[in-house]
Amino acid sequence: MQESGFEDEDFGVGISRFDNSNEEWTMNFRYNLDTYTTQMSYKNLDIYKISFNLFLKAHKASFLLPKYELFELGSQLRRSSDSVITNIVEGYGRSVYKNDYIRFLVFSHASNDETINHLDKIIALYPEFSAEFGILKQEYDLLGGKINNYKKWVKENWIENKP
Protein backbone atom coordinates (compact mmCIF):
# COMPACT_ATOMS: atom_id res chain seq x y z
CA MET A 1 0.00 0.00 0.00
CA GLN A 2 1.41 3.37 -1.05
CA GLU A 3 1.08 6.36 1.19
CA SER A 4 1.52 9.96 0.22
CA GLY A 5 0.88 12.93 2.42
CA PHE A 6 1.32 16.58 3.06
CA GLU A 7 1.66 18.79 6.06
CA ASP A 8 -0.33 21.95 6.37
CA GLU A 9 2.36 24.55 7.07
CA ASP A 10 0.05 26.90 8.90
CA PHE A 11 -1.22 24.35 11.38
CA GLY A 12 1.29 21.49 11.38
CA VAL A 13 -1.37 18.89 10.66
CA GLY A 14 -0.13 15.84 8.80
CA ILE A 15 -2.81 14.21 6.67
CA SER A 16 -2.01 11.02 4.80
CA ARG A 17 -3.75 9.70 1.72
CA PHE A 18 -3.84 6.01 0.89
CA ASP A 19 -4.09 5.28 -2.83
CA ASN A 20 -5.59 1.79 -2.53
CA SER A 21 -8.42 2.28 -0.07
CA ASN A 22 -10.73 5.25 0.30
CA GLU A 23 -11.99 3.81 3.60
CA GLU A 24 -8.51 3.73 5.14
CA TRP A 25 -7.86 7.27 3.97
CA THR A 26 -11.13 8.48 5.50
CA MET A 27 -10.39 6.78 8.82
CA ASN A 28 -6.88 8.24 8.90
CA PHE A 29 -8.14 11.71 7.99
CA ARG A 30 -10.78 11.60 10.74
CA TYR A 31 -8.19 10.49 13.28
CA ASN A 32 -5.84 13.33 12.35
CA LEU A 33 -8.70 15.85 12.32
CA ASP A 34 -9.94 14.69 15.74
CA THR A 35 -6.43 14.89 17.17
CA TYR A 36 -5.97 18.32 15.61
CA THR A 37 -9.24 19.80 16.85
CA THR A 38 -8.76 18.59 20.42
CA GLN A 39 -5.38 20.33 20.49
CA MET A 40 -6.72 23.62 19.14
CA SER A 41 -7.26 26.46 21.55
CA TYR A 42 -7.28 30.23 21.34
CA LYS A 43 -4.05 30.00 23.33
CA ASN A 44 -2.36 28.58 20.20
CA LEU A 45 -3.18 31.67 18.11
CA ASP A 46 -0.31 34.07 17.51
CA ILE A 47 -2.67 37.02 17.86
CA TYR A 48 -3.67 35.76 21.30
CA LYS A 49 -0.08 35.27 22.45
CA ILE A 50 1.00 38.68 21.17
CA SER A 51 -2.03 40.53 22.53
CA PHE A 52 -1.64 38.88 25.94
CA ASN A 53 2.01 39.97 26.19
CA LEU A 54 1.14 43.47 25.00
CA PHE A 55 -1.68 43.67 27.55
CA LEU A 56 0.81 42.91 30.33
CA LYS A 57 3.22 45.56 29.01
CA ALA A 58 0.49 48.20 28.59
CA HIS A 59 -0.92 47.49 32.04
CA LYS A 60 2.48 47.90 33.66
CA ALA A 61 3.37 50.99 31.59
CA SER A 62 0.09 52.72 32.48
CA PHE A 63 1.32 53.05 36.07
CA LEU A 64 4.16 55.30 34.87
CA LEU A 65 1.60 58.06 34.29
CA PRO A 66 0.98 60.78 36.87
CA LYS A 67 -1.47 59.82 39.64
CA TYR A 68 -4.28 61.95 38.24
CA GLU A 69 -4.07 60.00 34.96
CA LEU A 70 -4.13 56.53 36.55
CA PHE A 71 -7.94 56.51 36.62
CA GLU A 72 -8.40 58.50 33.42
CA LEU A 73 -6.15 57.85 30.45
CA GLY A 74 -4.32 55.04 32.26
CA SER A 75 -7.58 53.22 32.93
CA GLN A 76 -8.73 53.66 29.33
CA LEU A 77 -5.44 52.20 28.10
CA ARG A 78 -5.76 49.21 30.43
CA ARG A 79 -9.38 48.55 29.44
CA SER A 80 -8.85 48.85 25.69
CA SER A 81 -5.74 46.65 25.72
CA ASP A 82 -7.69 44.08 27.76
CA SER A 83 -10.54 44.27 25.24
CA VAL A 84 -8.20 43.30 22.37
CA ILE A 85 -7.39 39.97 23.95
CA THR A 86 -10.83 39.37 25.49
CA ASN A 87 -12.57 39.68 22.12
CA ILE A 88 -10.16 37.15 20.58
CA VAL A 89 -11.01 34.69 23.36
CA GLU A 90 -14.78 35.28 23.24
CA GLY A 91 -14.83 35.08 19.46
CA TYR A 92 -12.93 31.81 19.51
CA GLY A 93 -15.52 30.47 21.94
CA ARG A 94 -18.16 31.22 19.28
CA SER A 95 -16.06 30.00 16.38
CA VAL A 96 -18.61 27.33 15.50
CA TYR A 97 -20.47 30.26 13.96
CA LYS A 98 -18.20 31.86 11.39
CA ASN A 99 -19.97 35.24 11.35
CA ASP A 100 -19.83 35.52 15.15
CA TYR A 101 -16.13 34.72 15.09
CA ILE A 102 -15.48 37.37 12.44
CA ARG A 103 -17.58 39.88 14.39
CA PHE A 104 -15.45 39.43 17.52
CA LEU A 105 -12.26 39.68 15.47
CA VAL A 106 -13.61 43.00 14.18
CA PHE A 107 -14.21 44.09 17.80
CA SER A 108 -10.68 43.02 18.71
CA HIS A 109 -9.25 45.00 15.80
CA ALA A 110 -11.31 48.06 16.81
CA SER A 111 -10.07 47.78 20.41
CA ASN A 112 -6.53 47.55 19.06
CA ASP A 113 -7.10 50.82 17.16
CA GLU A 114 -8.54 52.38 20.34
CA THR A 115 -5.43 51.30 22.26
CA ILE A 116 -3.19 52.91 19.62
CA ASN A 117 -5.23 56.10 19.95
CA HIS A 118 -4.72 56.15 23.74
CA LEU A 119 -0.99 55.59 23.23
CA ASP A 120 -0.88 58.51 20.76
CA LYS A 121 -2.51 60.76 23.36
CA ILE A 122 -0.10 59.66 26.08
CA ILE A 123 2.91 60.26 23.81
CA ALA A 124 1.61 63.76 22.95
CA LEU A 125 0.77 64.69 26.56
CA TYR A 126 3.80 63.12 28.26
CA PRO A 127 6.85 63.26 25.98
CA GLU A 128 9.06 62.08 28.85
CA PHE A 129 7.44 58.63 28.42
CA SER A 130 7.52 58.61 24.61
CA ALA A 131 10.22 55.92 24.46
CA GLU A 132 8.22 53.36 26.48
CA PHE A 133 4.84 54.16 24.98
CA GLY A 134 6.26 54.61 21.46
CA ILE A 135 7.53 51.01 21.46
CA LEU A 136 4.13 49.80 22.66
CA LYS A 137 2.45 51.76 19.87
CA GLN A 138 4.67 50.13 17.24
CA GLU A 139 3.91 46.69 18.65
CA TYR A 140 0.15 47.39 18.66
CA ASP A 141 0.45 48.61 15.03
CA LEU A 142 1.96 45.24 14.09
CA LEU A 143 -0.69 43.37 16.06
CA GLY A 144 -3.42 45.26 14.21
CA GLY A 145 -2.04 44.00 10.91
CA LYS A 146 -1.90 40.44 12.22
CA ILE A 147 -5.50 40.59 13.48
CA ASN A 148 -6.60 41.97 10.12
CA ASN A 149 -4.77 39.23 8.21
CA TYR A 150 -6.20 36.53 10.46
CA LYS A 151 -9.71 38.00 10.04
CA LYS A 152 -9.27 37.79 6.24
CA TRP A 153 -8.06 34.19 6.55
CA VAL A 154 -11.11 33.25 8.64
CA LYS A 155 -13.45 34.87 6.08
CA GLU A 156 -11.91 32.84 3.26
CA ASN A 157 -11.12 29.52 4.95
CA TRP A 158 -13.14 28.93 8.13
CA ILE A 159 -15.48 25.95 8.06
CA GLU A 160 -18.67 26.49 10.04
CA ASN A 161 -19.97 23.96 12.55
CA LYS A 162 -16.56 22.53 13.31
CA PRO A 163 -16.53 20.02 16.16
pLDDT in tens, 19-61: 444 455 444 444 444 444 446 899 999 999 999 999 999 999 9
For residue 8, the SS3 value is strand
* Distance of alpha carbon 149 from alpha carbon 144, whole angstroms: 9
Predicted TM-score (pTM) of this structure: 0.74
- Say how many C-beta atoms besides its own lie within 10 A of residue 151's C-beta: 20
* Distance of alpha carbon 147 from alpha carbon 161, whole angstroms: 22
Beta strand pairing call for 3-8 and 13-18? antiparallel
pLDDT in tens, 129-142: 999 999 999 999 99
Supply the pLDDT for residue 21: 47
pLDDT band at 7 (very low <50, low <70, confident <90, very high): very low
